[in-house]
Structure 1
Amino acid sequence: MTTPSSMFGGDPGTATLARISTEFDAIARQMSTVSAEFAELRRIVAHPDDPGRDTAPVSQPAPHTPTPGLTPPMVATPPRAPGRPPGTPPQPWTPSRPPFFPPRQATTAPPPPPGAAVPTPMPRPPIMPPPTTPTFPPTTPTFPPAGPTPRVAAAARPAGPSMSERIGAAAERGLIGKILATAGVGVTLIGVALLLVLAAQAGILRPEFRVAGGAILAAALVAGGMWLRGRTDGRIGAIALTATGIAAGYLDVLAATRIYEWLPIVPGLGVAGLVAAGGLVLAHRWRSEHLGLLVVVPLIVLAPVLAGGLDTTLIAFMVVLCAASAWVQVGRDWIWLHTVRLAAPTIPLTLVGLVGLAGWNAPGSSDPVFAAAVAVVVVLGVGGALLSMSTTRHREVVAGLASATTIPALFAGSAMHLPGAVILQTSIALVLIGTVLIGSGFIGSGAATRVIPDSVAQIWSATALLLLFVAVLVTFDGTVAVAVLLGLATVTGLVARTWSTTSRVLLAGSSVIWAIGFAALLDAAPPYVLADADLIGRAANLEVVVASLFGASGALILAAGWARLTDERVSRAAHIAAGVVVVYALTAISVTAGVLVGGPDGFLAGHVLATTCWMALAGAALAYARRRGGAARTAAVTGGLVLVAAAIAKLFLFDLATLDGIFRVIVFIVTGLILLGLGAWYARALQDDPAKSRSATTV
């Protein structure tokens, strides 16, 4: 029997080389087939519209005919998977593609003849697994493309509407009609003015015909507006025609009053008011705030011309206009018309006060008409705000407008005599405070009677505080004003502590007033004056004592108020500032009172008392620390020890050099006894409370 080894001279290595050569031939044929398929695919991609080419035959590799006498290639055993321990039997392996050669058909050898010797098969060489070539990643470096990196194009925004489309949309909204109607109003009024004024100068018509023609034109325009109102889409035109007719009526009244002098000033203003009343009736019925503004605004501009300037007649007319037009707001939340109504009398009254403040001759400066007008306007503003508080959407704005009506009262001191001005300012402030107390439920049955929200209460409380502040400045001067300002700040701080609805506003306002008063106190009695007997002798008075008392109490009250409403850092800063103020105030009270009572000897006695007070404050701080814990205890102990150190420094640096005789002896003995008492008492207190003793050792 011929074996592969015998065919190649019996060399097993030659047989292996033959098998490898056969396998490489099969691989070459397979690669040729793949290349042909890629060429066909490239052709299909290059000519997708040529169907005839798709059916072209693809060359098939020639079937493999095994060489006689060669053993077909054996399927190589796959390499051991990474991570599999050696000795583990390999898992069944399925090739990912068909083998290059068809499987060898099993052939059955014919049985040997009887008696023939059976040849012994030669042992086959062991099949070695093909060497596995390790694969490495490509080592060729990659570089970014040269040139700037292309930027990604942003998404294109949709094109906006063109100009013609915008004009068309405006026309659909009625804007074009409003513009044309407004222009028509202006042109028509110019024509009426030419009829009444220029025609009179040229002598074209008699005055009676001019005024009558203006009245007829005004009535015709109003009638046309009423007729147009009943037609479809005639609202804009109706408002424009009616406003033009009312304005023409104003001009006609102006001509009859000022140009031809047929009507006195008061009847002329009355006729203009009747014209305005008719226009406001139409505005209320048509539910048009625009028409109401077109009725009231021209009248406000026209009234000074009719009255001939800023005088009591103009003020009275504006107040009557504000009161007579109040009914228009019933059932209507017209904030702009409400603003214009209140501004009509407020602006002239404020101008009167400013004119008097500038030193000019203010009309009606000593006349009670000013006070009555201011009071009526404030009542109209506050009353209107209260009536509309449950229906309006602009509560804060309405409350602010009511507060704005009190602006003329701030300048009352320049428009009228001083007592009357103070009474007016104080009365308005008390009315606001009472309104807030009752309306916010502070006085009454509580929340059931509450008709004023917190924001409105804060606005009116701040307004009342401002009026009282101005009243104090107008009434008092010098150190008396300082004492009253500090007293006002102290009382306001107490009110803020018990009244939570407006506490922040009142605390802020009282803090500002207290800061102004305390700055004035420092100017009247600075620290260096307290250390000089001659200077304090000239500056000492009872007002400084009272102001210092209010300054100290106000500082403590305000510090407690801010500590209740703010964080710990602000609270700590407020208490430190209050402690410094209290030390200064006690020193000023002691020295000033001593000078007032005993003269030069009182100055020495006052400083003895001041040093003693410092030590007493230190003891109070340490006693306060016993009842507290944490940061409050640490702050109190620190403050007490700092005050003790300051008292000892004052004792040796000032008292020892300034005091003489018995006063020096007294101050040292008293201070030493207080120190001994504090030390003994504090040590005993710590022994009584071991927990606090342990915490105090860390201080």
Structure 2
Amino acid sequence: MTSSSSTFGGDPGTATLARISTEFDAIARQMSTVSAEFAELRRIVAGPTVTSAPPQAASPPLVPPSRPWLPTAPPFAQPHRTTAPPMPPGPAVPPMPRPTNAPSYRPPASPVVPPVTPPPRPPRPSMSERIGAAAERGLIGKILATAGVGVTLIGVALLLVLAAQAGVLRPEFRVAGGAVLAAALVAGGMWLRGRADGRIGAIALTATGIAAGYLDVLAATKIYEWLPIVPGLGVAGLVAAGGLVLAHRWRSEHLGLLVVVPLIVLAPVLTGGLDTTLIAFMVVLCAASAWVQLGRDWIWLHAVRLAAPTIPLTLVGLFGLVGWSAPGSADPVFATAVAVVVVLGVAGALVTMPTTEFREAMAGLASATTVPALFAGTAMHLPGAVILQISIALALIGTVLVGSGLMGSGLMGSGAAARLMPDSVAQIWSATALLLLFVAVLVSFDGAVAVAVLLGLATVTGLVARTWSTTSRVLLAGSSVIWAIGFAALLDAAPPFVLADADLIGRDANLGIVVASLFAASGALVLATGWARITDETVSRAAHIAAGLVVVYTLTAISVTAGVLVGGSDGFLAGHVLATTCWMALAGAALAFARRRNGAARTAAVTGGLVLVAAAIAKLFLFDLATLDGIFRVIVFIVTGLILLGLGAWYARALQDDGPAQPGSATAV
């Protein structure tokens, strides 16, 4: 056996040195592999978003502390071997072959992130698939059952009406046959309700039987006149109430709709059109079915119930608008019916308000019941119509006030669900009341009086909106619209060219223009302040500029009109002297206001004051100098000059009292 010393030329020292060098070389390669594995682990922990970094700087060479002349280990970040330092003088040592099983290091590859593709859209179902899905949900059965209800009721109507016209069967057999058919249908529906999967058929049969029953009662009351109107309507209401009892018990809004909707469609056929009997029956139906909302949040049935009397009452008003006289347009009947329907709508909304999910819809439906009152002036005598409109408006305002007070005081409990009247409901009903008052003013007054009342209504509403934040935006918007309509009417009654002509203003001047101008000026200031409170600076500046222009115009109208009313032609001249003086006084007020403000508000006030001064001087030389004569011309020039002197002296002293302003500051205006 050959020894290791013989293998390396028989020199033990050389062989030992070569073996140690080989072992250090293997250790270096192993540590390089461990370093690469640590780098890979760090990349995995950092996540896929970490990109590959450039190769790190080489670590210091690994050198044994006691043998500084031995070959150095390769850096951890480099997979190849470094060149060993030169060996000391001695016998040559053959190079050692690299072991074949030594692990090789490969730098980690950069992570490849696959592109994110959106998931493919599912294919749209075909028509046959949609029909099959509808059949599975029972929709086709409901459609067929509803169609069957309509066809059957048409047959019952033909039995009751057309058979009477053709003389087929005796009246007793017709009515009795309709009653038997109605009872059989209801009994069949109740029997089918107890069977499995019989809900849809039971609802359809029961709805058909109940509708046939009250159509039979209406025929006996209206066509054959066997029952007086009041007992006949009472029996029909009991039949409809029985159907709604079943709907409430079966928890089926569908059944309730099938009980009420056919009545609204077919009842006018039996009553012969729109008359007092139809209106009274619809009101009774709405009142008798009010309880069905208790414990059931059925918004569609509630809408149909309120529409039953509201639609015919609205038609009565529309017929009066075009000059037709409807049978139900008698003052007591129309007013009572409208009042009852409005009470039912508002009361129903208030009762269900704490539990319903459709608060705004309930409030909107209650407001819709006031639509017939808007046309009351065409269906009633004017005083009664105005009283009806004002009464409903005041009732809505009182309801909003009480409801908002209870909401704020906590009497209804804590939390949004316990509030009696949310802000949105208060806004809807406040807007409805404002609309009713607006219509009442239009039908009650005309001419300058109507303009003054409209502007006064807008001013009062703006003041209410300023102090009542619950409905401020709605009331501000409504009052702004009414004010704009009133101011447009004021401009039509007293345009600027009329104010500049003594003959025209002498013919058109009246006290209504003076009062309307006062309300226009005060309303403009109130509304501008209200909008400035709830909007940004740009809207606020525009509102105040518009209000300033309105105030200037209305003061001119007041001065000239009042002067003409008091002194005739001389009053016209005195009025323009007063108007020019007022312009200068307003300019002084704007400059005084600017002294108490800073920033943009001060700049706007100073600009407005100076513009008004320029306008007053222009009026003085372009109009007053040519129009006025005698003492009026002297007075206007002297007064205007003195005001200008006073403003100049006061403003210069005010700047001196403020001290030197910093350049670029807001006070250096």
TM-score by length of 2: 0.79
Instruction: Tell me the distance in 2 between the aligned counterparts of 1:201 and 1:533.
Output: 75
Letter in 1 for 2:466: R
Structure-2 residue corresponding to 1:637: 606
Asked if the contact 1:265–1:307 (Cα under 8 Å) also holds between the matched residues in 2, the reply is: no
Answering whether residue 428 of structure 2 is matched by residue 459 of structure 1, we say yes
Change (3 A) 1:483 1:254: closer
Letter in 1 for 2:302: H
Answering whether residue 630 of structure 2 is matched by residue 661 of structure 1, we say yes
Q: How much has 1:199 moved relative to structure 2?
A: 6.3
Q: How does 1:411-560 map to 2 (within 5 A)?
A: 411-441=375-405, 446-448=409-411, 451-560=420-529
Asked if the contact 1:604–1:663 (Cα under 8 Å) also holds between the matched residues in 2, the reply is: yes
| Alignment deviations for residues 204-262 of structure 1 (CA, whole Å, 9 cap, x no partner) | 75543443233222211111111221222221111011012123324433554455554
Structure-2 residue corresponding to 1:310: 274
Candidates 575, 579, 591, aligned match of 1:606:
575
| Alignment deviations for residues 643-664 of structure 1 (CA, whole Å, 9 cap, x no partner) | 1111111111111111111111
Structure-1 residue corresponding to 2:314: 350
Q: How much has 1:158 moved relative to structure 2?
A: 4.1
Q: How much has 1:161 moved relative to structure 2?
A: 4.4
Candidates 548, 554, 558, aligned match of 1:589:
558
Change (3 A) 1:431 1:691: farther
Candidates 218, 221, 224, aligned match of 2:185:
221
Instruction: Tell me the distance in 2 between the aligned counterparts of 1:348 and 1:420.
Output: 20
Change (3 A) 1:214 1:692: same
Candidates 386, 396, 400, aligned match of 2:360:
396
Q: How much has 1:197 moved relative to structure 2?
A: 5.9
Deviates more, 1:205-214 or 1:525-534: 205-214
Structure-2 residue corresponding to 1:340: 304
Answering whether residue 336 of structure 2 is matched by residue 367 of structure 1, we say no
SS of the residue 2:470 aligns to:
coil
Change (3 A) 1:542 1:287: same
Instruction: Tell me the distance in 1 between the aligned counterparts of 2:476 and 2:173.
Output: 67
Instruction: Tell me the distance in 1 between the aligned counterparts of 2:311 and 2:625.
Output: 64
Candidates 203, 209, 216, aligned match of 1:245:
209
Asked if the contact 1:268–1:306 (Cα under 8 Å) also holds between the matched residues in 2, the reply is: no
Structure-1 residue corresponding to 2:114: none
Asked if the contact 1:280–1:328 (Cα under 8 Å) also holds between the matched residues in 2, the reply is: yes
Q: How does 1:53-92 map to 2 (within 5 A)?
A: none
Asked if the contact 1:493–1:557 (Cα under 8 Å) also holds between the matched residues in 2, the reply is: yes
Letter in 1 for 2:555: L
Letter in 2 for 1:482: V
Change (3 A) 1:159 1:581: closer
Instruction: Tell me the distance in 2 between the aligned counterparts of 1:227 and 1:589.
Output: 80
Instruction: Tell me the distance in 1 between the aligned counterparts of 2:601 and 2:480.
Output: 23
Instruction: Tell me the distance in 2 between the aligned counterparts of 1:177 and 1:354.
Output: 40
Instruction: Tell me the distance in 2 between the aligned counterparts of 1:522 and 1:663.
Output: 27
Q: How much has 1:467 moved relative to structure 2?
A: 0.6
Asked if the contact 2:353–2:359 (Cα under 8 Å) also holds between the matched residues in 1, the reply is: yes
SS of the residue 2:421 aligns to:
coil
Structure-2 residue corresponding to 1:84: none
| Alignment deviations for residues 507-557 of structure 1 (CA, whole Å, 9 cap, x no partner) | 001101111111111111111111111111111111111111111111111
Letter in 1 for 2:388: L
SS of the residue 2:469 aligns to:
coil
Answering whether residue 590 of structure 2 is matched by residue 621 of structure 1, we say yes
Asked if the contact 1:686–1:693 (Cα under 8 Å) also holds between the matched residues in 2, the reply is: no
Instruction: Tell me the distance in 1 between the aligned counterparts of 2:147 and 2:565.
Output: 78
| Alignment deviations for residues 291-342 of structure 1 (CA, whole Å, 9 cap, x no partner) | 1111111122232233222122221211111111111111111111111111
Instruction: Tell me the distance in 2 between the aligned counterparts of 1:607 and 1:358.
Output: 47
Instruction: Tell me the distance in 1 between the aligned counterparts of 2:507 and 2:123.
Output: 82
Instruction: Tell me the distance in 1 between the aligned counterparts of 2:486 and 2:440.
Output: 14
Aligned length: 566
Candidates 272, 277, 282, aligned match of 2:246:
282
Letter in 1 for 2:291: W
Structure-2 residue corresponding to 1:690: 659
Structure-2 residue corresponding to 1:410: 374
Change (3 A) 1:159 1:342: closer
Asked if the contact 1:353–1:411 (Cα under 8 Å) also holds between the matched residues in 2, the reply is: yes
Letter in 2 for 1:661: G
Gaps of 5+ in 1: 1-90, 98-105, 109-152
Candidates 634, 637, 652, aligned match of 2:621:
652
SS of the residue 1:643 aligns to:
helix
Instruction: Tell me the distance in 1 between the aligned counterparts of 2:581 and 2:128.
Output: 89
Letter in 2 for 1:310: L
Instruction: Tell me the distance in 2 between the aligned counterparts of 1:231 and 1:305.
Output: 36
Q: How does 1:285-296 map to 2 (within 5 A)?
A: 285-296=249-260
Instruction: Tell me the distance in 1 between the aligned counterparts of 2:79 and 2:446.
Output: 111
Asked if the contact 2:599–2:666 (Cα under 8 Å) also holds between the matched residues in 1, the reply is: no
| Alignment deviations for residues 665-689 of structure 1 (CA, whole Å, 9 cap, x no partner) | 1111111111111111111111111
Candidates 380, 385, 392, aligned match of 2:349:
385
Change (3 A) 1:206 1:495: closer
Candidates 629, 635, 640, aligned match of 1:671:
640
Asked if the contact 2:279–2:328 (Cα under 8 Å) also holds between the matched residues in 1, the reply is: no
Letter in 1 for 2:573: L
Instruction: Tell me the distance in 2 between the aligned counterparts of 1:456 and 1:313.
Output: 34
| Alignment deviations for residues 413-454 of structure 1 (CA, whole Å, 9 cap, x no partner) | 111111111111111111111111110118x97354652111
Letter in 2 for 1:525: A
Instruction: Tell me the distance in 1 between the aligned counterparts of 2:391 and 2:169.
Output: 56
RMSD of equivalent CA atoms: 3.2
Gaps of 5+ in 2: 1-71, 82-89, 93-116, 413-418
Q: Aligned residues: percent identity?
A: 87
Structure-2 residue corresponding to 1:56: none
Change (3 A) 1:540 1:251: closer
Asked if the contact 2:363–2:429 (Cα under 8 Å) also holds between the matched residues in 1, the reply is: yes
SS of the residue 1:591 aligns to:
helix
Q: How much has 1:477 moved relative to structure 2?
A: 0.2
Instruction: Tell me the distance in 2 between the aligned counterparts of 1:428 and 1:200.
Output: 44
SS of the residue 1:392 aligns to:
coil
Asked if the contact 1:412–1:421 (Cα under 8 Å) also holds between the matched residues in 2, the reply is: yes
Letter in 1 for 2:625: L
| Alignment deviations for residues 50-86 of structure 1 (CA, whole Å, 9 cap, x no partner) | xxxxxxxxxxxxxxxxxxxxxxxxxxxxxxxxxxxxx
Change (3 A) 1:657 1:488: same
SS of the residue 2:448 aligns to:
helix
Instruction: Tell me the distance in 1 between the aligned counterparts of 2:181 and 2:542.
Output: 73
Asked if the contact 1:479–1:521 (Cα under 8 Å) also holds between the matched residues in 2, the reply is: yes
Q: How much has 1:356 moved relative to structure 2?
A: 1.0
Q: How does 1:82-231 map to 2 (within 5 A)?
A: 157-161=121-125, 165-189=129-153, 192=156, 205-231=169-195
Asked if the contact 1:366–1:417 (Cα under 8 Å) also holds between the matched residues in 2, the reply is: no
Asked if the contact 2:152–2:208 (Cα under 8 Å) also holds between the matched residues in 1, the reply is: yes
Asked if the contact 1:687–1:693 (Cα under 8 Å) also holds between the matched residues in 2, the reply is: no
Letter in 1 for 2:235: V
Instruction: Tell me the distance in 2 between the aligned counterparts of 1:578 and 1:197.
Output: 66
